[in-house]
Structure formats: structure tokens, C-alpha cells
């Protein structure tokens, strides 16, 4: 269980830092292009790692679940996420992510008959409350982007990611994490290429690959989000119930606090720090349960 918990916490930290860094990139590159470049580089990284590890044989059902999960979560979900990231303030999108995490937990309990202990239930509640305090603003400011389009894109992205998470959980019963990550990313990349081709956008979408300076800026973020995020994410879901893994991955906005302060020079309120403390107490309850 400890391995799963550490992997989930590593996922939350990696995605928090990657989201902040990707936020800087959204002004320079279109969402579909950013997602495709990210996914192509990820497939190359994961494919190289898988060559050393060696793939295992999978049943057709497992393969289908992982490929469908990649199409939903990466082709569609990530593209919608990057589009929403351009239109919404970061805390609004993070709050939508939290709502998606809650929905994943509820559905996992219903579909997989997962039954956390009372202490784990308390931990889940504290983590989600802490995340809410961190992600939700104490008051509404005039500069916050709350466009209907941005919120719609964000909610659609969360819906895709919830469905993809539940599909991946079932696929991980047989596949090992690295192989599952590669298959999902490969399916997502193929879906993006098809999307761009059908929309006659393939050339402009692939044009960032010719910009070496842009690639140099994106590559470290891709390494962080792929190896530090997606790979650890699958390890977490391999060793934990989906409800517990999802709760710990929901700590992303808590990790984002000090990172936002260091990287973006944002002012952090006492409300946010209280939320971070609650989330840490909740994590301790989950570990103890």
C-alpha cells in the first residue's frame, strides 16, 4: 500500500508543477497542437522505457479498455483541459478537477464495490475539504475568467477523465503500469493525429515540432508529466483502490500552492494554507487506515 500512496502523492506533485508550466505554454501554442506534441514526445519516452522492460501479453478485453481509456482521457480530455486552461483562472479549473475526483470516488465505490474503512472515509473527507479550500476563491474578483465556454470545456474535460480513469482501473488488473501508460498514450496520440487529419489541421498542428526552442521548453514538462505523472498514476491505481488513489491524486492543488508561490510569485492566503493542513491530516488518516 505504501508504494501506491507514494506513487499517488508523486502524481499529484508532478501534475501540479506540470500544470503551472503548461499554463505558460498555452499562450504560445494552440491546445490541440500542445496536446499532440506532448503526447508524441511521451510515446517516444515511454516506448524507449518499454523496450528495456519488455511488454507482456494482454487479453483483448484489457487491451481494448486501455486503448479506449487513452482515446477518452488523452485525445479528448487533455485537449479540452488545455483549451479550458487558456480561458479559466487556474483555481477555477482546479476546482473543476476536484469535482471530477469526487465523481470518480463515488463511481468507483458503486462499480467496483470498494469499501474504505471509517478512518479512510474520514481521510477522504478531510482531503477533499482541504482541496476545496485551496481551490475555491474566498471571494470573486473582477479579473477572474468565468466564461461559459471555459466552464463547459472544463466540465467536459473532467467527464472524459473520470470515464478514462475507471476504464484504466479495470485494464490495470492485468497490465503492468508502464505498459498501460504506453498503450493509453499511444491510443491518445493516434486519436489526436486522426482528429487533426480529419479537420485538415495536421500541418499547423505539427508545426511546433519544427521549432527547436519550443521543443526545448516543452520536453522537460513532458518528462515531468509523463514519467512523474502518468506512470506514477498507473502505479498508484495498480496498488490502491480507485477511490483512495483518486483522493490522494486530488492533492494536486495543495502541492500547487508553494509551487505557484515559487514559480509564479502568487500570494497565498491563510485560507489556502488551512486547506493544505487539512489535506495533510486526511492523507495521514488514509495511511493509517
- 188 vs 194: CA distance, rounded Å: 10
Residue 199, CB-side half-sphere exposure with 13 Å CA sphere: 13
Per-residue pLDDT of the chain (289 residues; tens, 9 = 90+): 789 889 989 998 998 888 888 877 777 788 888 888 889 989 998 898 888 877 778 888 999 999 999 999 999 998 998 888 787 766 566 666 766 766 676 677 677 666 777 887 888 788 778 777 766 655 444 445 456 788 788 889 988 988 898 888 888 777 788 888 899 999 999 999 998 888 777 888 788 778 888 888 888 988 888 877 878 888 888 888 877 787 788 777 778 778 877 876 767 778 878 887 887 788 777 766 6
- 158 vs 80: CA distance, rounded Å: 9
Q: Which three cell numbers stand for residue 169?
A: 482501473
3-state DSSP helix/strand/coil percent for the chain, to nearest 5? 80, 0, 20
Confidence (pLDDT) at 266: 66
Confidence (pLDDT) at 136: 63
Confidence (pLDDT) at 192: 92
- Structural contact between residues 105 and 244, judged by C-beta atoms closer than 8 angstroms: no
Q: Distance of CA 147 to CAs 48, 111, 150, 152, Å?
A: 41, 34, 5, 9
- 289 vs 287: CA distance, rounded Å: 6
Whole-prediction pTM: 0.74
Residue matched to cell numbers 477523465: 161
Amino acid at each position: 500500500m505504501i508504494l501506491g500512496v507514494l506513487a499517488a502523492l508523486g502524481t499529484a506533485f508532478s501534475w501540479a508543477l506540470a500544470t503551472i508550466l503548461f499554463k505558460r505554454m498555452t499562450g504560445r501554442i494552440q491546445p490541440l497542437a500542445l496536446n499532440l506534441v506532448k503526447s508524441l514526445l511521451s510515446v517516444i519516452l515511454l516506448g524507449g522505457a518499454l523496450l528495456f522492460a519488455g511488454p507482456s501479453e494482454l487479453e483483448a478485453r484489457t487491451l481494448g479498455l486501455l486503448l479506449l481509456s487513452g482515446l477518452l482521457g488523452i485525445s479528448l480530455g487533455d485537449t479540452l483541459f488545455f483549451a479550458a486552461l487558456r480561458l479559466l483562472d487556474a483555481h477555477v479549473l482546479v476546482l473543476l478537477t476536484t469535482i471530477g475526483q469526487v465523481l470518480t470516488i463515488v463511481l468507483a465505490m458503486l462499480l467496483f464495490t470498494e469499501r474504505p474503512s471509517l478512518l479512510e472515509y474520514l481521510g477522504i473527507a478531510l482531503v477533499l475539504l482541504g482541496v476545496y479550500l485551496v481551490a475555491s476563491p474566498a471571494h470573486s474578483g473582477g479579473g477572474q475568467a468565468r466564461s461559459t465556454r471555459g466552464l463547459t470545456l472544463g466540465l467536459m474535460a473532467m467527464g472524459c477523465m473520470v470515464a478514462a480513469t475507471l476504464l484504466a482501473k479495470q485494464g490495470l488488473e492485468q497490465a503492468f503500469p508502464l505498459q498501460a501508460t504506453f498503450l493509453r498514450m499511444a491510443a491518445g496520440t493516434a486519436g489526436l493525429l486522426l482528429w487533426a487529419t480529419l479537420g485538415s489541421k495536421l500541418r499547423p498542428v505539427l508545426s511546433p515540432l519544427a521549432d527547436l526552442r519550443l521543443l526545448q521548453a516543452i520536453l522537460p514538462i513532458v518528462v515531468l508529466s509523463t514519467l512523474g505523472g502518468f506512470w506514477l498514476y498507473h502505479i498508484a491505481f495498480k496498488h490502491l483502490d480507485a477511490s483512495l488513489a483518486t483522493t490522494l491524486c486530488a492533492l494536486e492543488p495543495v502541492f500547487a500552492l508553494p509551487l505557484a508561490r515559487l514559480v509564479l510569485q502568487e500570494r497565498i492566503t491563510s485560507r489556502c494554507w488551512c486547506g493544505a493542513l487539512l489535506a495533510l491530516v486526511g492523507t495521514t488518516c488514509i495511511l493509517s487506515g
